[in-house]
Structure 1
Amino acid sequence: MKPEIMIVGTQHYHEIFSHSDPDEQFLDSVNILRDSLIKFQPTRICIEQEEKIQDVINDSFNRYNPVVFYKNEAYDLGFYTAKQLNLKSVIAMDWMEQGYGVNGMSGVYEWAQNNDVSFIELIEEIQSHHDKLSKLNDSYKITLELNKPESYKMDEVLYGQMMLLGDDWNISIPWLTWWYKRNMIMVNNITQNLNNNDQVIVIVGSGHVYILKQFLEASNKFDVMTFYDWVENNNMGGTLD
């Protein structure tokens, strides 16, 4: 028996509702998603917040009001589920420190615009995919789709191609090094002091699904699944045609 880890790749609610509020349809779908997470019966919930603010997260968790929609999936999904299952808190697993030479993806994108049309087309294809999903206005269905292999493998191809960009390795490798380090630290934080009977939910932006799944499976110490895998294996339905 191994610890079970379910990766739940989500939208970032603060981005999609930066200039608006969710309507009743979306909020109803959030409740359906919440019910699904509760059925998994997690003993640990990890959220995409920096580990260095765990004390702040603990305080926010204690003051959390389940009636409020915070436009933050860490709260709206993670806190809510943890409260319903009487967990003491959630685990802040993220790391965002940036060192010398890490300037985000802007330099990579600028270089590709002038030198690699196919890479720009891949970015646009992924963005179009996410825009199409957002129009569903259904958090449960969107989350299912984001956790399908055909969805998260698009991100794997993106970062795989990014390694090849540039007149020299300084174009893309510094940012990719930071990205891989960030996700390795997440994996370490997710798996600290797990028991064989633990069930873990990882709530994270969908761009992390492919790499967290890859890293967690590499050790062969955990039963790893995505939210989509779990729904399909438990005949819960709800996928799109």
Structure 2
Amino acid sequence: MIEQLTSIIQQGDIIKLYKFINSPEYIVNDHKIYLDLMQLDDEIAFEWVSKYWYYRNLRIAHNIKKSLKPETKRAIILYGAGHNYLLKQQLEDDSSITVIQYGSCPKSRA
């Protein structure tokens, strides 16, 4: 994944880069880094992921939801790729929110 990402960055194609870092494969592999950190025999890494990283993403999701007004129909959220997995999960847990990631086709709303 790193070689692929490096190659895309070197090409300078921002659209290709955004599609790549929003692909399901990249998102899962990126999140796996945090899961792997929690498995290390290292209390500091475990504490950082469990107490900081998850908390940070919960606060971001909370602030996104808080900023949406009842009449809001659409919003664009831009965040770093490392937040993708958890923010998507936390926002999709709210049945009033439909998450459509860049590069994916929206579900039919008929």
TM interval, short-chain normalised: 0.7 to 0.9
Secondary structure of the residue aligned to 2:99 is strand
What is the CA deviation profile of residues 84-111 of structure 1, one whole-angstrom value per residue up to 9, with x for unaligned ones? xxxxxxxxxxxxxxxxxxxxxxxxxxxx
Gapped regions of structure 1 (runs ≥ 5): 1-125, 235-241
**TM-score using structure 2 length:** 0.82
Query: Partner of 2:96: helix, strand, or coil?
Result: coil
Quote the offset at 1:196 in angstroms.
Answer: 5.2
Contact 2:20 2:26 (8 Å CA) reproduced: yes
Aligned equivalent of 2:44: 171
Q: Which structure 2 residue ranges, 5 or more long, are not aligned?
A: none
4+ residue runs over 3 A deviation:
none
| Structure whose residues are more often helix by fraction | 2
Q: Is the CA contact 1:152–1:210 (under 8 Å) kept in the aligned structure 2?
A: yes
**TM alignment of 1:1-241, pairs within 5 A:** 126-166=1-41, 170-176=43-49, 177-192=51-66, 193-195=68-70, 197-229=72-104, 232-233=105-106
Secondary structure, in 3 states, of the residue corresponding to 1:224? coil
- CA distance in 2 between partners of 1:154 and 1:181 (Å): 20
- Superposed CA RMSD in Å reads 2.0
Query: Given that residues 100 and 106 in structure 2 are in contact (C-alpha distance below 8 angstroms), is that contact kept between their aligned partners in structure 1?
Result: no
SS of the equivalent of 1:202 reads coil
Q: Which letter does structure 2 place at the counterpart of 1:185?
A: R
Choose between structure 1 and 2: higher strand proportion.
1
Structure 2 letter corresponding to 1:189: N
Relative to the length of structure 1, the TM-score reads 0.40
Query: Structure 1 CA distance, aligned partners of 2:71 and 2:39?
Result: 40
Taking only the aligned residue pairs, the percentage that are identical comes to 28
Q: Which has the higher contact order (CA 8 A, sep 6+)?
A: 1
